[in-house]
């Protein structure tokens, strides 16, 4: 197989989404596909890459319904200025693998390069969770449905599997993860993100873009520098009476978009690009639907086995903080060093725009490896419905 490289990565600012209060979301008037197009244009412009060189676009979106249906990835492609008309020969696809959609898009493009089918591709992802809210509202509208036969399946607790908060409760209960530990991780995530912001860590990945009303959006809106243990402890459980999962130790509803530019070694030379990292391997797997948060650890095990690496070889980890229980379970299950996990903060502080998150995980990981001088990094996410996905990068 050919080698594949992460040549560049960029994202929008991540904003706080609120379907009932759209005024709090700076992207409320901006379609997700249009936001992704703006990210792609800015990324290609700064690299001075001709859009005609891009051979395919893979788009991750966890809720590809209503306006987030993109005609197989054509809408964000056509909405760009640097691809648009020049990219008519560019193939595209839209991928739904729930919270792993962004990493699944990256995997799809990486596999095409590894197979020698293409040399330059873009993997992107977006979600506007104000304009297209999460599942419960869509189920009520009949936009999303579930088969009656699965409700009778003796091996499946569908009501749990369909509610991500309840799956987090189940994982925390069975793994013995206490509320105090979950709140402590949430506090650490906000503190790390606050420190990363102050140190300028997001400069170079986070773009300043204009929204549909012409206002510039430059900063992530979910980071709470003033979060305290007392505030987190005072929050009520959200999904289960007497439970452990609160709004504070869950990722907030978020809108945003992200894109990664992938190239073969030959393309790097041709275009004079300096890559962040080499994409070593990717893997996904299934786990019990009622414990979907366990998918991150399971996928990491699989990708490590495929790559011939051990936990001790990994210098940096990006594990999606969909819920605090997920990285806590992964750290305990795999005996990870917590000081190497989500060092610039995670989704509890930065937000989790479902389809864009996987791209952020991989892109941020590449930047962390460059910043800290590590050799290997691993990014992973759990996936609704009982899956996990992971990627290993090697610093160039």
Identify the CA nearest to 388 among candidates 302, 278, 290.
302
Q: Are 276 and 262 in contact (CB under 8 A)?
A: no
The pair of three-digit structure tokens given for residue 151, joined into one six-digit string? 């409700």
The pair of three-digit structure tokens given for residue 9, joined into one six-digit string? 């990565």
Q: What is the set of active-site residues? A: 99, 352, 382
Q: Are 275 and 263 in contact (CB under 8 A)?
A: yes
149 phi and psi angles, rounded to 5 deg: -60, -35
Q: Are 172 and 325 in contact (CB under 8 A)?
A: yes
CA atoms within 13 A on the CB side of 134: 18
Identify the CA nearest to 29 among candidates 250, 290, 238, 209.
209
The pair of three-digit structure tokens given for residue 19, joined into one six-digit string? 């379907």
Give the separation between CA 221 and CA 190, rounded to whole angstroms. 12
Scored b (16 or more CB within 10 A) or e, 257-292 reads bbbbbbbbeebbeebebebbbbbbbbbbbebbbbbb
């Amino acid at each position: 197989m050919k080698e594949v490289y992460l040549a560049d990565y960029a994202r929008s600012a991540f904003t706080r989404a609120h379907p009932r209060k759209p005024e709090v979301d700076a992207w409320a008037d901006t379609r997700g596909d249009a936001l992704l197009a703006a990210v792609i244009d800015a990324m290609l412009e700064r690299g001075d890459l001709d859009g005609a060189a891009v051979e395919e676009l893979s788009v991750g979106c966890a809720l590809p319904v209503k306006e987030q249906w993109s005609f197989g990835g054509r809408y964000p492609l056509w909405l760009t200025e640097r691809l648009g008309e020049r990219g008519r020969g560019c193939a595209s696809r839209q991928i739904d693998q729930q919270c792993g959609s962004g990493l699944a898009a990256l995997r799809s493009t990486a596999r095409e390069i590894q197979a020698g089918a293409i040399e330059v591709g873009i993997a992107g992802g977006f979600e506007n969770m104000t304009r297209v809210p999460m599942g419960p509202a869509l189920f009520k509208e009949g936009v999303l449905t579930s088969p009656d036969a699965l409700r009778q399946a003796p091996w499946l607790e569908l009501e749990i599997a369909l509610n991500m908060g309840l799956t987090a409760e189940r994982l925390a209960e069975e793994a013995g993860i206490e509320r105090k530990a979950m709140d402590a991780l949430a506090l650490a995530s906000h503190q790390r993100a606050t420190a990363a912001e102050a140190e300028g860590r997001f400069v170079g990945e986070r773009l300043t873009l204009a929204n549909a009303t012409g206002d510039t959006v430059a900063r992530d809106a979910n980071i709470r520098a003033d979060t305290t243990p007392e505030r987190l402890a005072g929050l009520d459980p959200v999904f289960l009476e007497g439970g452990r999962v609160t709004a504070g130790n869950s990722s907030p509803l978020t809108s945003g978009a992200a894109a990664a530019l992938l190239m073969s070694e030959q393309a790097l030379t041709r275009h004079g690009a300096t890559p962040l990292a080499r994409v070593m391997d990717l893997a996904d797997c299934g786990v019990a639907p009622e414990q979907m948060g366990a998918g991150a650890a399971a996928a990491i095990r699989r990708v490590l086995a495929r790559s011939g690496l051990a936990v001790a070889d990994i210098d940096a980890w990006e594990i999606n903080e969909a819920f605090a229980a997920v990285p806590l379970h992964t750290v305990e299950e795999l005996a990870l060093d917590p000081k190497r996990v989500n060092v610039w903060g995670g989704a509890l502080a930065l937000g989790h725009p479902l389809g864009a998150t996987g791209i952020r995980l991989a892109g941020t990981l590449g930047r962390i490896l460059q910043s800290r001088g590590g050799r290997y990094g691993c990014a992973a996410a759990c996936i609704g419905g009982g899956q996990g996905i992971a990627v290993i990068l090697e610093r160039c």
